[in-house]
Structure 1
Amino acid sequence: MSPVADPVSRNDSSAIPQAARSAGVGTFPRPPTFTTKEEEREYLKFRLAQAFRIFGKLGYDEGVAGHITVRDPVRPDCFWVNPFGKHFSLIQPSDLILVDHHANVQINESGPNKLLNKAAFMIHSAIHEARPDVNCAAHSHSVYGRAFSTLGKELDMITQDSCAFYKDHGVYRQYGGVVLDEEEGAHIVKALGSKKAVILQNHGILVGTTSIEATVHFFIALEKSCQVQLMADAAAAGTGGKIIKISEAEAAMTYGVVGTMAGGWFSGRPHFQLLEAQEGSSFRFGSGK
């Protein structure tokens, strides 16, 4: 089975908004469909492992910090997460851990390293439980996201790309240390609200969306938007200039093109296409891997 052409996201029955559709001429692709939930599980595990390797290639690793999760389609009360202590660049589908919302690692389904990162569990279990629409969430200690997080502020709408987060990201303006308890996870969820991203003060960035592809795209986009704003702020301060911000109306219009979930899925696909070309491996529909 292969993807069929249709401009909708896998978890959204509505078409890509007209504003986003106007960016292309022709028919947009659609995420794959599956004959069984088990096949969907294998695909999501394959895709999640790819996402980790993409993060590894981009340098979004910092020792053992960082995690990406995806909700399990067979058991929606569980999610897949990386084993604690394995480098992102090495993760394969067979390495992933399946855990429920009570921190119980599902032994039979999980990989050989069943060590669970407690911070990953506290953050992601809270998000997946509070936000049924979030199928994939990612957090890592990326360099520019970390640097920008020290400012404790939202992004300014200064570029077309930053408009993907117009009124769709929050700030958690409190650093409570390493997230090792439920209360801190709840605080992060509250700061995230119904948005797709949150800047964690003195910590880094977090993105949660309807798909692995959209999460990877918007995480990269947020990291780069943080980088651009840091550079623009420094350039303005150094030259005595003033940053030109995008107006509210223009930011809202641009968000309708670059900030949607379906658009995020579409924009995230090239990262996986590149990885598959480099590795010579892609998911074989109907084969279970």
Structure 2
Amino acid sequence: MLDLGQRKSIYQPEQQDLIFPEEPNYATPAEEREDRKRRLVAACRAFAQHGLDYGFAGHLTIRDPERPDLYWTNPMAVHFAQVRMSNLILVDHEGTVVEGRHAVNRAGFVLHAAVHDAHPDILAMCHAHTVYGTAFAATGRALEPVTQDACAFFEDHVVIGKEAGKVAVENAAGTDVAAAFKGVKAAIHQNHGLFTASRHSIDAAAFWFIALERCCQQQLAIDASGSQSIRVPDDKARYSREHVGSEYIGWLHFQPILDHLLQSQPDMLA
């Protein structure tokens, strides 16, 4: 392993005084709450930019910093492109809206609440009904490390086969999804789609969702070509995952997306 010194990643510059994203520090819980909400809105807007919307399906969540038994989420039946600070809702694990005027997505509450309840370390979670992720989920396969991008998920995602394809509207439906998220950042729910979770930030959860969707697209393109893909050897896949698949790297990847959205879509802060 490389000696990184005080750095979290090889991508952090060794040279001092260069412009580079810095993880935020907060003076108060209120300041952290506003930043988490801002980043949640940015994640929703990023999903819109990447075409990850499908009607009212799709839900992103982040815990409240002072009340970790509550989580902020996007409002029901509002397009990702129209989510903003003022229409986010705060929800408890029973599905009660504590703050906000909009309803909560039933499936989002059932699945995300179960994961947040079962894993106090998980801060954020993302799910959407996407073209490539849903198509790949129908194969019931795990993602193979056939690209450097896919190596980020090597031994860090699972396939959930139980209750595959059944719409998650009953509370018990979240149990299997919650159980799957022990020590991994992503799950492929057979015949349903993709889930990502982060113990670090909504930034990381959102980027890894976008990345997983892209990896599914790559794998389906390889399958459609009829060519035999060359699998990255396990040791090299693990090495790549350690350097390009961490929570910090997911957060770092999201920063240019966040900066672009803050500059191009200032209405998201309204």
Q: Percent identity?
A: 39
CA separation of 1:23 and 1:77: change in aligned 2, threshold 3 A: closer
Q: Find 1:186's aligned residue among 166, 175, 179.
A: 175
Q: What is the distance in 2 between the residues matched to 1:26 and 1:141?
A: 42
Instruction: Report the CA distance shift for 1:26/1:183 in structure 2 as closer, same or farther (over 3 A).
Output: farther
Is it true that 1:120 corresponds to 2:105 in the alignment? no
2:27 equivalent in structure 1: 35
Look up the match of 1:215. 205
Amino acid at match of 1:38: A
Cα displacement (A) at 1:280: 4.6
Q: After the TM superposition, which parts of structure 1 deviate over 4 Å for at least 4 consecutive aligned residues?
A: 22-25, 280-283
Q: Distance in 2 between matches of 1:25 and 1:202?
A: 45
Equivalent residue number for residue 191 of structure 2: 202
Matched residue, 1:93: 85
Write out per-residue CA displacement over residues 181-233 of structure 1, whole angstroms, 9 at most, x where no aligned residue.
Answer: 22210111122322000001111100001201111111111000000000011
The aligned residue for residue 231 of structure 2 is 245
For each residue in 1:50-91, what CA deviation from the matched residue of structure 2 results, as whole angstroms up to 9, or x when unmatched? 111111111111001000000001211100111111111001
Look up the match of 2:119.
Answer: 131
Deviation at 1:96, TM superposition (A): 0.8
Deviations 1:106-137 (Å, cap 9, x if unpaired)?
1xx32x32x11111001111111122221110
**Whole-angstrom distance in 1 between the partners of 2:224 and 2:15:** 41
Aligned residue number for residue 220 of structure 2: 230
Structure 2 gap ranges (5+): none
After superposition, the Cα gap between the structure-2 partners of 1:282 and 1:85, relative to the gap in structure 1 and judged at 3 Å, is closer
Q: Which residue of 2 aligns with 1:164?
A: 152
State the AA in 1 paired with 2:142.
E
CA distance in 1, matches of 2:136, 2:165: 17
Question: Residue type matched to 1:201 in 2?
Answer: Q
Note closer, same or farther for the CA distance 1:282–1:269 as it changes in structure 2 (3 Å cut): farther
The answer to whether the 8 Å contact 1:169/1:197 transfers is yes
Aligned residue in 1 for 2:257: 271
SS in structure 2 of the partner of residue 187 of structure 1: helix
Is the contact made by 2:83 and 2:268 (CA closer than 8 Å) also made in structure 1?
no
In 2, Cα distance between equivalents of 1:166 and 1:266: 19
* Contact 2:151-2:238 at 8 Å conserved across structures: yes
TM-score normalised by L of structure 2: 0.91
Question: Retained in 1: the 8 A contact 2:40–2:62?
Answer: yes
- The yes-or-no answer on 1:177 pairing with 2:166 is yes
C-alpha contact 1:171 1:192 (8 A) present in aligned 2: no
2:112 and 2:83 mapped to 1: Cα distance?
19
Distance 1:42 1:231, change over 3 A: same
- Amino acid of the residue matched to residue 90 of structure 1? Q
The answer to whether 1:46 aligns with 2:34 is: no
Any unmatched runs of 5+ in structure 1?
1-6, 8-13, 284-288
CA distance in 1, matches of 2:85, 2:134: 28
Q: Give the AA of the match of 2:220.
A: L
Contact 2:62-2:124 at 8 Å conserved across structures? yes
Q: Which amino acid is the alignment partner of residue 139 of structure 1?
A: H
Q: Distance in 1 between matches of 2:183 and 2:25?
A: 27
Name the Cα RMSD after superposition. Answer: 1.9
Partner of 1:82: 74
1:57-72 to structure 2, matched below 5 A, reads 57-72=49-64
TM-score, with structure 1 as normaliser:
0.85
Matches within 5 A, 1:96-115: 96-106=88-98, 109-110=99-100, 112-113=101-102, 115=103
